[in-house]
C-alpha cells in the first residue's frame, strides 16, 4: 500500500526544540517530529496526489475552454442548452460578484468576517444546479454559490457574518440547511436526513458539503460509515480547495481523498472542481445513484481557494504567488466564457447585461447589509428552547429589570 | 391500569408505547435491536417494530447523535441510547455544538425532538468508564434539558414526556436502580416533567437528590427518624431546568439543606443549588448548604467504589453537621 510510507515511521532526530508549529500540530508524536521528516513526508504525498490527479480527474472543459469527451459522464450534460450554459455562467459571475461585495463590506466594517468562495464557483454552481428542488443540502459556511442555486437570498447569508444572528434562514424554505461552522458536523446531519428520506420511501437525495480539512474529522469518517451501512441516499461533496487555513492537503491525507470511498464500500470520483460542466455531470450522476437506491457517493471536487481562508487570514504567511497564478490560469469562469464564445452561444449584449446585473446585485447587497438592524437585546433569550425553560425566563426577567434601571436615569 | 415492574421494564414499556402511537419515533443505538440493549431496556422492541424503527447502529456515538439530528430535521423523533455514561464523550461535540443550539441558531424554525438515553452512575461493580455521572457537564449547556427518574413510575412517564418534548432531552437512567420494582399506572396523569416532588415530608432538614440517590436519601430519612430527626426528601427529577421553587419552599420550612449526588461535588449540580438557595433563602438558613457526592478523583476501581459513592453514613454525617449549626 502506498499509504505505508516509510517517511512517517523513520526514526526522527530528537529535535523537540526545532519541531515548530507544524510538528506539534500534525502528529500525535509532535514533540519528536523533526523538520526533516516533515518535509520528506510532504514531498511524497504531493507527488502522489499530483500523479493521481492527472490520471483520474474527470474533466469536460479544459482550462482553455475546449470540450473534451467523456464516455461515462457526457450523458449527464448531453441535453444542456445554450441557455442553460449561459445560466451557469451567470450563476458563477453573480456569485463571484456577491462574494467580492461581501469581502468589501468586511473591509468597510459592515461585516465582522467573511469566508470567500473565490475560485470555487464551478464546484458550487455545478453541484448546486445538479440538485432537484426536493433534494436537501447541508453546507459548510462557504457554500454561497450553492445557496444561490437553492434560491436562498444572498443577503440572508450575511446576518451571521455581520453578527446579527447565527444563521436564521428557514432551512426548510429552500431545503438548504444552516451554515455549520464546526468542521464536518453537518455530514452526519446529512446522512441522518438521508436515512429519513429512505425511511419515507421518497426518491429525494441529500448532498453534504465539506472540505479537505474536514476529511480528517471523525464525524466525516462516521458519516461515511453510517451512509454506507444504511445505504443512505447521500452524496458527500468534498471541495478540496488545497488549503485548510494554512495547512495544505498533504497535512490531512496520504492518499487522494476520493480514494477513501473505496474503503467504505461506495464509489469515489475526483472531478475538476474548476470545470462547471464536469461538476454538474458528476453530481447529477451521484444524485441519481442516490435516488435509485444505490447509496452514497464521494465526489472530490479538485479546486483552489483563491482567496484567504477568511478575511481574518493572511495567506502570504504560508503560500506563494506561483501556486495562485497557476490556478488562475484554470479559472472556472474564464474557461466557460472561452467555451461559450468559441461556440457562438453568446454575444456582447449578454456580457454587458450581466455586468449591469452584477453591479445591481452588489448595490442591493450593500444596501441590505447597511440597513440590517442590530437585534433586540432580548433576542439573547429567544429560541433557546422550543418549550421554554424556567431559568431562561428568570434570567430574562432579571435582564429586563437591569435594563429598566437605566431608563430611570433618562437613558435608553 | 397499574402494574408493578422494574424500572428497566418501565422504560421499555414507555418506549413501546411511543413507538406504537407515533410512527415518527425511532429507537437507535449500539446493540439496542436484536440484543435488546446491554441492560435489556429495549428488549423485544425490534422484534415488534422492525429494523427500520429500532435501529442497531455502528459503534460510533458521535454518528449516533449526529444522524439523529439529521433524522429530527427530517421530522423524526429519535430516542438514542448511549450504552454507558463514560461513552458519551465522542458524542459530546454533536450534543453541545449542534443538538443544543440548532433551535436557537435557526431562530426557532428547526426543532430538535431528540432524546439521549444514558444509563449512568455507579454501584454495579463495573470497569472504568461504566459508572460515571456526567450530568453537570450537560446542565451547563443552554438548549439541553436534563432529567433523571428515581423510580419505575417516573421512568415511564418522564420518558413519555421527554419524547413529546420539542427540545433535546438528556435522559439519565440510574442503572443501579434498573431492577428496582415499583407501581406504574399507565393511565395516570403525570406531574410536569421538570417539577420536583416531595417524596417524604419532614421538618428538620431537606435532602435534595435525583436519580439513584433518591432511594438512599429515603433510607437516610428513615434512619434519622429512628434518632428523632425529621428529614424531608425532595426528588428533583430534573436537573435542567431545576425546580428551585420547590427547593426553596422546602428549605423555608426546614431551614437546612443537604444535596446528594453521585457526581463529583466540585462544580456539580449541588454547587449550583447551594448558590441559588443561599441567594433565595439567606435569612431562612440555619446552616450552610452542604453537599455529599463524589470526590475530585477519577471514578475508582470497583473494589473502592463504596468508599467513593455517597452512602447512608456519609449522608447522615452531613445531616449531623448541618444540624450542629
Which one, of A70, A127, A59, lies nearest residue A297 by Cα? A127
CATH number at residue B144: 3.40.50.970
**CB < 8 Å from A in window 245-284 of B:** none
B106, B31: one domain: yes
C-alpha R_g of chain B: 19
3-class DSSP assignment, residue A175? coil
Distance (Å, rounded) from C-alpha B79 to C-alpha B91?
Answer: 14
Task: Indicate whether B190 belongs to any domain.
Answer: no
**Interval A264-271 mean pLDDT:** 98
Q: Work out the number of other CB atoms within 10 angstroms of the CB of residue A35.
A: 15
User: What pLDDT, on the 0 to 100 scale, is given for residue A94?
Assistant: 98
Contact A225 B142 (CB under 8 A): no
User: What pLDDT, on the 0 to 100 scale, is given for residue B279?
Assistant: 97
Which one, of B133, B273, B136, lies nearest residue B212 by Cα? B133
Instruction: Compute the Cα dihedral for A54, A215, A181, A31 and give only its sign.
Output: negative
Is A318 among the catalytic positions?
Answer: yes
The list of chain B residues with pLDDT below 50 reads: none
**Interval A196-220 mean pLDDT:** 98
B147, B39: one domain: yes
B17, B163: one domain: yes
Range of the domain at B70: 2-185
Phi, psi torsion values for A410, nearest 5 degrees: 75, 20
Within 8 A by CB and 6+ apart from A302, the residues are A53, A57, A240, A270, A271, A272, A273, A274
Q: What is the domain count for chain B?
A: 2
With contact defined as beta carbons under 8 Å apart, do B150 and B210 qualify? yes
Contact A392 B165 (CB under 8 A): no
B140, B214: one domain: no
User: What pLDDT, on the 0 to 100 scale, is given for residue A203?
Assistant: 97
With contact defined as beta carbons under 8 Å apart, do A49 and A249 qualify? yes
Select from A168, A189, A384 the Cβ nearest to the Cβ of B142: A384
Among all residues of chain A, which has the CA nearest to that of B67? A192
Return the C-alpha torsion angle B313, B317, B322, B325, nearest 10: 150
DSSP B173: E
User: What pLDDT, on the 0 to 100 scale, is given for residue A14?
Assistant: 37
**Assembly ipTM:** 0.97
Top-level class of domain A49-370: alpha beta
- Mean pLDDT over the full length of chain A: 89
Residues of chain B found within 8 Å of residue A172, distances taken between Cβ atoms: 109-110
User: What pLDDT, on the 0 to 100 scale, is given for residue A330?
Assistant: 97
User: What pLDDT, on the 0 to 100 scale, is given for residue A410?
Assistant: 55
CA dist list (Å): B99 to A274, B63, B193: 35, 13, 20
With contact defined as beta carbons under 8 Å apart, do A293 and A194 qualify? no
Is it the case that residue A71 has pLDDT exceeding 90? yes
B79, B212: one domain: no
Distance (Å, rounded) from C-alpha A169 to C-alpha A157?
Answer: 8
Is B284 among the catalytic positions?
Answer: no
B98, B175: one domain: yes
Residues of chain B found within 8 Å of residue A397, distances taken between Cβ atoms: none
Task: Indicate whether B296 belongs to any domain.
Answer: yes
Sheet containing strand B238-240, edge to edge, reads B54-56, B25-29, B77-81, B115-120, B169-174, B145-147, B238-240
> How do beta strands B231-235 and B205-209 pair?
parallel
- With 0-12 / 13-18 / 19 or more C-beta atoms within 10 angstroms meaning exposed / middle / buried, residue A328 is middle
Residues of chain B found within 8 Å of residue A385, distances taken between Cβ atoms: 103, 143, 145, 167
Omega cis (within 30) before B241: yes
**Interval A44-72 mean pLDDT:** 74
CA dist list (Å): A227 to A232, A298, A394: 5, 11, 43
User: What pLDDT, on the 0 to 100 scale, is given for residue A408?
Assistant: 64
B18, B131: one domain: yes
Contact B75 A172 (CB under 8 A): no
3-class DSSP assignment, residue B325? coil
Which one, of B121, B137, B117, B138, lies nearest residue B129 by Cα? B121
DSSP B97: I
With contact defined as beta carbons under 8 Å apart, do A191 and B70 qualify? yes
B48, B169: one domain: yes
pLDDT band for position A82 (cuts 50, 70, 90) = very high
With contact defined as beta carbons under 8 Å apart, do B134 and B110 qualify? no
B64, B116: one domain: yes
CA dist list (Å): A149 to A91, A174, A178, A362, B275: 8, 10, 15, 17, 52
pLDDT band for position A407 (cuts 50, 70, 90) = confident
**Interval A100-125 mean pLDDT:** 98
Instruction: Compute the Cα dihedral for B208, B210, B216, B218 and give only its sign.
Output: positive
Distance (Å, rounded) from C-alpha A208 to C-alpha A223?
Answer: 10
Long-range contacts of A100-104 (CB under 8 A, 24+ apart): A100/A362, A101/A361, A101/A362, A101/A365, A101/A366, A102/A144, A102/A158, A102/A161, A102/A365, A103/A307, A103/A311
Residues of chain B found within 8 Å of residue A188, distances taken between Cβ atoms: 62-63, 65-67, 69-70, 94
Is it the case that residue A3 has pLDDT exceeding 50? no
Is it the case that residue A41 has pLDDT exceeding 80? no
Residues of chain A found within 8 Å of residue B102, distances taken between Cβ atoms: 178
Within 8 A by CB and 6+ apart from A409, the residues are none
Phi, psi torsion values for A268, nearest 5 degrees: -130, 140
Among all residues of chain A, which has the CA nearest to that of B95? A185
B147, B207: one domain: no
Contact A226 B67 (CB under 8 A): yes
pTM, full prediction: 0.92
User: What pLDDT, on the 0 to 100 scale, is given for residue A22?
Assistant: 33
Is it the case that residue A40 has pLDDT exceeding 60? no
Give the 3-state secondary structure of B101-157. CHHHHCCCCCCCCCEEEEEECCCCCCCCCCCCCCHHHHHCCCCCEEECCCCHHHHHH
pLDDT band for position A16 (cuts 50, 70, 90) = very low
Is it the case that residue A15 has pLDDT exceeding 70? no
**Interval A202-211 mean pLDDT:** 98
Q: Work out the number of other CB atoms within 10 angstroms of the CB of residue A367.
A: 11
Best residue in A186, A222, A382, A397 for a mutation probing chain B (most B CBs within 10 Å)? A222
Q: Work out the number of other CB atoms within 10 angstroms of the CB of residue A134.
A: 11
Distance (Å, rounded) from C-alpha A293 to C-alpha A234?
Answer: 10
Contact A170 B109 (CB under 8 A): yes
- Bridge partners (DSSP) of residue A316 are none
Among all residues of chain B, which has the CA nearest to that of A136? B74
- Bridge partners (DSSP) of residue B6 are B181
CATH number at residue B260: 3.40.50.920
- Entry field: residues in chain A: 412
Min Cα distance A165 → chain B (Å) is 7
State pLDDT tens for residues A217-247: 999 999 999 999 999 999 999 999 999 999 9
Which one, of B150, B237, B151, B158, lies nearest residue B190 by Cα? B158
B158, B225: one domain: no
pLDDT band for position A9 (cuts 50, 70, 90) = very low
Distance (Å, rounded) from C-alpha A33 to C-alpha A12?
Answer: 6
Which one, of B5, B312, B8, lies nearest residue B175 by Cα? B8
**Interval A311-315 mean pLDDT:** 95
With contact defined as beta carbons under 8 Å apart, do B123 and B178 qualify? no
Amino acid at each position: 500500500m502506498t499509504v505505508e510510507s516509510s517517511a512517517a515511521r523513520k526514526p526522527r532526530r530528537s529535535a523537540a526544540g526545532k519541531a515548530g508549529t507544524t510538528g506539534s500540530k500534525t502528529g500525535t508524536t509532535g514533540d519528536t517530529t523533526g523538520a526533516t521528516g516533515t518535509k520528506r513526508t510532504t514531498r511524497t504525498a504531493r507527488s502522489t496526489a499530483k500523479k493521481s490527479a492527472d490520471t483520474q480527474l474527470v474533466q469536460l472543459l479544459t482550462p482553455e475552454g475546449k470540450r473534451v469527451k467523456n464516455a461515462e459522464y457526457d450523458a449527464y450534460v448531453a441535453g444542456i442548452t445554450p441557455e442553460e450554459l449561459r445560466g451557469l455562467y451567470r450563476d458563477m459571475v453573480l456569485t463571484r460578484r456577491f462574494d467580492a461585495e461581501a469581502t468589501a463590506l468586511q473591509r468597510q466594517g459592515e461585516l465582522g468576517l467573511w469566508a470567500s468562495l473565490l475560485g470555487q464557483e464551478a464546484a458550487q454552481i455545478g453541484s448546486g444546479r445538479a440538485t432537484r428542488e426536493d433534494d436537501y443540502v447541508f453546507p459548510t459556511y462557504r457554500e454561497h454559490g450553492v445557496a444561490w442555486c437553492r434560491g436562498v437570498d444572498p443577503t440572508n447569508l450575511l446576518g451571521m457574518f455581520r453578527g446579527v444572528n447565527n444563521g436564521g434562514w428557514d432551512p426548510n424554505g429552500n431545503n438548504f440547511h444552516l451554515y455549520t461552522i464546526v468542521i464536518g458536523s453537518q455530514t452526519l446531519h446529512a446522512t441522518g436526513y438521508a436515512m429519513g428520506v429512505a425511511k419515507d420511501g421518497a426518491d429525494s437525495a441529500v448532498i453534504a458539503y465539506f472540505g479537505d480539512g474536514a476529511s480528517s474529522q471523525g464525524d466525516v469518517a462516521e458519516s461515511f460509515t453510517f451512509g454506507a451501512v444504511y445505504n443512505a441516499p447521500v452524496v458527500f461533496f468534498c471541495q478540496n480547495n488545497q488549503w485548510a487555513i494554512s495547512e495544505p492537503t498533504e497535512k490531512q491525507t496520504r492518499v487522494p481523498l476520493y480514494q477513501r470511498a473505496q474503503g467504505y464500500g461506495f464509489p469515489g470520483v475526483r472531478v475538476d472542481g474548476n470545470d462547471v460542466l464536469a461538476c454538474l455531470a458528476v453530481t447529477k450522476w451521484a444524485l441519481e445513484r442516490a435516488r435509485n437506491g444505490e447509496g452514497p457517493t464521494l465526489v472530490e471536487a479538485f479546486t483552489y481557494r483563491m482567496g484567504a481562508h477568511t478575511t481574518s487570514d493572511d495567506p502570504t504567511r504560508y503560500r506563494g504567488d506561483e501556486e495562485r497564478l497557476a490556478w488562475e490560469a484554470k479559472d472556472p469562469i474564464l474557461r466557460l466564457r472561452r467555451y461559450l464564445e468559441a461556440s457562438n452561444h453568446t454575444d456582447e449584449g449578454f456580457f454587458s447585461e450581466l455586468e449591469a446585473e452584477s453591479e445591481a446585485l452588489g448595490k442591493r447587497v450593500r444596501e441590505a447589509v447597511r440597513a440590517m438592524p442590530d437585534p433586540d437585546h432580548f433576542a439573547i433569550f429567544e429560541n433557546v428552547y422550543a418549550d421554554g425553560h424556567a431559568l431562561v425566563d428568570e434570567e430574562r426577567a432579571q435582564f429586563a429589570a437591569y435594563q429598566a434601571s437605566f431608563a430611570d436615569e433618562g437613558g435608553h | 391500569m397499574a402494574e408493578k415492574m422494574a424500572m428497566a421494564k418501565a422504560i421499555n414499556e414507555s418506549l413501546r408505547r411511543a413507538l406504537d402511537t407515533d410512527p415518527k419515533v425511532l429507537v437507535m443505538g449500539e446493540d439496542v435491536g436484536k440484543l435488546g440493549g446491554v441492560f435489556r431496556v429495549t428488549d423485544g422492541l425490534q422484534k415488534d417494530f422492525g429494523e427500520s424503527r429500532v435501529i442497531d447502529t455502528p459503534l460510533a456515538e458521535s454518528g449516533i447523535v449526529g444522524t439523529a439530528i439529521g433524522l429530527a430535521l427530517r421530522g423524526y423523533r429519535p430516542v438514542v441510547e448511549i450504552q454507558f455514561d463514560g461513552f458519551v464523550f465522542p458524542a459530546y461535540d454533536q450534543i453541545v455544538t449542534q443538538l443544543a443550539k440548532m433551535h436557537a441558531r435557526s431562530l426557532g424554525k428547526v426543532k430538535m425532538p431528540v432524546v439521549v438515553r444514558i444509563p449512568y452512575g455507579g454501584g454495579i461493580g463495573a470497569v472504568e468508564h461504566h459508572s460515571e455521572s456526567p450530568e453537570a457537564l450537560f446542565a451547563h449547556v443552554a438548549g439541553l434539558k436534563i432529567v433523571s427518574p428515581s423510580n419505575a413510575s417516573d421512568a415511564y412517564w418522564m420518558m413519555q414526556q421527554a419524547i413529546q418534548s420539542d427540545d433535546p432531552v438528556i435522559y439519565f437512567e440510574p442503572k443501579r436502580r434498573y431492577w428496582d420494582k415499583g407501581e406504574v399506572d399507565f393511565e395516570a396523569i403525570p406531574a410536569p416533567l421538570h417539577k420536583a416532588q416531595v417524596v417524604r415530608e419532614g421538618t428538620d432538614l431537606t435532602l435534595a437528590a435525583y436519580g439513584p440517590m433518591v432511594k438512599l436519601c429515603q433510607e437516610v430519612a428513615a434512619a434519622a427518624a429512628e434518632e428523632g430527626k425529621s428529614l424531608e426528601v425532595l426528588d428533583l427529577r430534573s436537573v435542567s431546568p431545576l425546580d428551585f421553587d420547590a427547593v426553596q419552599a422546602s428549605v423555608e420550612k426546614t431551614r437546612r439543606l443537604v444535596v446528594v449526588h453521585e457526581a463529583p461535588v466540585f462544580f456539580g449540580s449541588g454547587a449550583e443549588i447551594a448558590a441559588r438557595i443561599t441567594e433565595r433563602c439567606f435569612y431562612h438558613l440555619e446552616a450552610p448548604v452542604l453537599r455529599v457526592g463524589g470526590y475530585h478523583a477519577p471514578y475508582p476501581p470497583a473494589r473502592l467504589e463504596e468508599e467513593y459513592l455517597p452512602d447512608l453514613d456519609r449522608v447522615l454525617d452531613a445531616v449531623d453537621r448541618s444540624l450542629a449549626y
